[in-house]
Chains A and B, each alone.
Chain A
């Protein structure tokens, strides 16, 4: 099966702990993205990467970090500096170029208490 996988589906952490969310794709896409979605709201871009070993901040990057060491993988770390980390996190990928659709993973719901 081709697609994007995110793991785990549900994640629980204590406040003050860093946590890393996994995102893997086998679509051979260059670009990968992380979004945050809060209840009843749209998607806000956290970080994106258009090529291996390069990434850019999105609209809400504070308190998050990423790496892109392999084309297939784009893990997101939610650090203790993120003030309100409880949310639904979505990873996506697409081919480079404006006329391509974005493929999404199933999401990870993170709860921090």
Chain B
């Protein structure tokens, strides 16, 4: 099963610009998590937003959650070349499983 669907599939921006990625999901959730994956590596947790939260910040990251629309967005401000990676959203399903979307590939050009 694939709970989260990211949009866009790929995003190319210039260094210094902001990058916005969106995630939609199907069922009710406890929380939604965002992860980052550098090419050929494991995933790294970025931020978790609970279902009763609407916005959360961590450094240059800003995550919003709209449970009425079953959607979330990840904003990376003042992007850097080092932000080039794939970004995945994930939700927790019954059985303590995280279900990941297909991801957004972000390329930041310097």
Using a CB–CB cutoff of 8 Å, the interface residues on chain A facing chain B are: 4, 31, 33, 35, 40-43, 45, 48, 50, 56, 58-59, 88, 90, 92, 94, 96-99, 101-107, 109
Q: Can you offer 15 A-B residue contacts whose CB atoms are under 8 A?
A: A4-B42, A41-B103, A42-B102, A43-B88, A43-B100, A50-B95, A50-B96, A90-B42, A99-B48, A99-B50, A102-B33, A102-B43, A105-B42, A107-B40, A109-B40
Tell me the B38-59 residues at the A interface (CB within 8 Å).
40-45, 48, 50
B50 near A42 with CB under 8 A, answer no
Please count how many residues in chain B sit with their CB below 8 Å of the partner chain's CB atoms. 27
A109: chain B residues at CB < 8 Å are 40
Residues of B within 8 Å of A43, CB to CB, are 43, 88, 100
Residue ID in chain A nearest B6 by CB atoms? A42
**Interface residue SS majority, chain B:** strand
**Chain B residues close to A by CB (< 8 Å):** 1-2, 30-31, 33, 35, 40-45, 48, 50, 88, 90, 92, 95-103, 105
Contacts of A104 in B (CB 8 A): 42-44
Q: Are B45 and A56 in contact (CB under 8 A)?
A: no
- CB distance A99 to B31 under 8 Å? yes
Given A98-B92, A102-B35, A102-B98, 12 extra CB contacts under 8 A: A31-B96, A35-B100, A42-B103, A45-B97, A58-B97, A90-B42, A92-B43, A92-B98, A96-B96, A102-B45, A103-B45, A104-B42
| B residues near A102, Cβ cutoff 8 Å | 33, 35, 43, 45, 90, 98
